[in-house]
Amino acid sequence: MGECNYYVKARFASSEAAKAAIQPLLELLEQGDSAYNYWQKSRSNPRNRVRQQPPAAGEFWATFRNEYPLIIGFLGDFADSLDWDNGLAGHLSCMADCQTQIRSLGTCITQEHDEIRLKLASIWHCADLSMLEAYFIDKLGAIAAGSISEEDLEMDEDDEDEVFEDGFYFDAIDLSRQQDLT
């Protein structure tokens, strides 16, 4: 499956509010990475030599709810879905433990004044970050949030082989069109 980098930018009322959101965000992503791995191991996989039957929805969600309470809150209406096997595909795909990324790829979360900038490396290219954007606003107190992937920007033929810095993608996220709640 194809992968690409995703970029999320969120604006807060102050730099102090942005700084206060970083630790809860790290906790969400850490738990999300673990939840993603549990979900993948539970899914049916025709490539497994030993074919195991995936758990029933009730069994899957009981374990999931017990082990990953932050992710249950993150998923909202998707939690307890009968089609957990495929239904979570685009939503859990954006979960990456930044602590691991920090050790292996460099910092994935930066604070620029009243903004948090989050880079999610090597994420499934069909991931849906709308719930993560909503989490920034609803749970972390951001006043605006948006995201973009490397694939979202149309490049000229001349640009196809060019490597752009992360700032290029963050700058492409326009938060001014989003409702400012302040």
The proportion of the chain whose per-residue pLDDT surpasses 70, expressed as a percent, equals 82
Alpha carbon distance 70, 75 (integer Å): 9
Residue 15's CB: how many other CB atoms inside 10 A? 13
Is residue 182 in some structural domain? no
Is residue 181 in some structural domain? no
Question: How large is the average pLDDT for residues 161-169?
Answer: 77
Is residue 153 in some structural domain? yes
- For residue 176, the model assigns a pLDDT of 84
Q: Write out the residue range of the structural domain in which residue 122 sits.
A: 3-172
Q: pLDDT-based confidence at 47, cuts 50/70/90?
A: low
Is residue 69 in some structural domain? yes
pTM comes to 0.84
Is residue 102 in some structural domain? yes
- Token match 């991931």: residue? 127
Is residue 54 in some structural domain? yes
Instruction: Read off the pLDDT of residues 154-164 as tens digits, 9 standing for 90 and up.
Output: 665 555 555 67
Is residue 177 in some structural domain? no
Counting Cβ atoms within 10 Å, is residue 70 exposed (0-12), middle (13-18) or buried (19+)?
middle
**Higher pLDDT among residues 126 and 65, named by residue:** 65
pLDDT of residue 126 exceeding 60: yes
- For residue 164, the model assigns a pLDDT of 75
Q: How many domains does the chain have?
A: 1
Amino acid at 21: A
Question: How large is the average pLDDT for residues 41-54?
Answer: 72
Question: How large is the average pLDDT for residues 4-16?
Answer: 95
Is residue 180 in some structural domain? no
- For residue 51, the model assigns a pLDDT of 54
**Higher pLDDT among residues 97 and 115, named by residue:** 115
